[in-house]
Amino acid sequence: MELVKTISNNKIIKIFLISLIGSILLTISAKIRIPFYPVPMTMQTFVVLFLGISFGYKVGVTTIFLYLLEGIAGLPVFSNSPEKGIGIAYFVGPTMGYLIGFIFACFLAGYFKYNSNYFINFLKILVSTSVIYFFGVIWLGTLIGWDKPILQLGVFPFLLAEFFKILLLTLLVNKIIRLRKFI
C-alpha cells in the first residue's frame, strides 16, 4: 500500500512539474515575436499543440488550465498583456475565445493517435489548430459584433504563420510523441 502511495505521489509531482514548466514555455512563446508576414508570429499555438502531443491530453489540458489561471490571477503570461498583468480584464477581452480554444485544441492534439502517415497527421494537427480559431471567431464576433469583418480581423492575418507551425509539427510529431514515456 505504501508503494502505491509513493508511486502516485511521484506521478502527481511529475505532472505538476511538467505543467509548471509547460506554462512557463507557453508564456515565453506568447512573448517572443518572430517577424512574419502579414503579422508577427508567436509560437503560442505551436506550444499548445506540442503540449498535447508530447504529454497527452490530460497533462496538456492541465498545463493549459494552469497557464490560464496564472493569467486570470494577474500574472503577465498572455501575449500583449502589460508587465504587471491585468488578470480577468485581459482574459475576457478580444482574445478570450482563442485562449479557451487552447484547451480544446490541446485536448484534441493529445487525444489523436499519430502514425507515419504525414498527410493524416497534418489533418489531425490542422483540425486541432482550427478549434482555436473556431472559439476565437465565436467570441470575437459576440464581443465586437457580427457586422464587423471578423475573419479579416481574427483569422486571415494568421493563416500563413499557422500553416508554417502545422507543417513543423507534422514533421516533428513522431519525435515529439516519444516524450509521453516520461509521464
The tens digit of pLDDT for each residue in 84-130 reads 778 898 899 999 999 999 999 999 999 999 999 999 999 999 999 99
Model pTM above 0.85: yes
Flag whether pLDDT at 133 surpasses 80.
Answer: yes
Beta bridge partners of 34: 41
Confidence of residue 182 (pLDDT cuts 50, 70, 90): confident
Class of 2-182 per CATH? mainly alpha
Alpha carbon 88 to its chain's center: 19
Q: Are 158 and 106 in contact (CB under 8 A)?
A: no
Nearest to 58 by CA among 105, 111, 14, 17: 111
Q: How far apart are CA 17 and CA 37, in angstroms?
A: 36
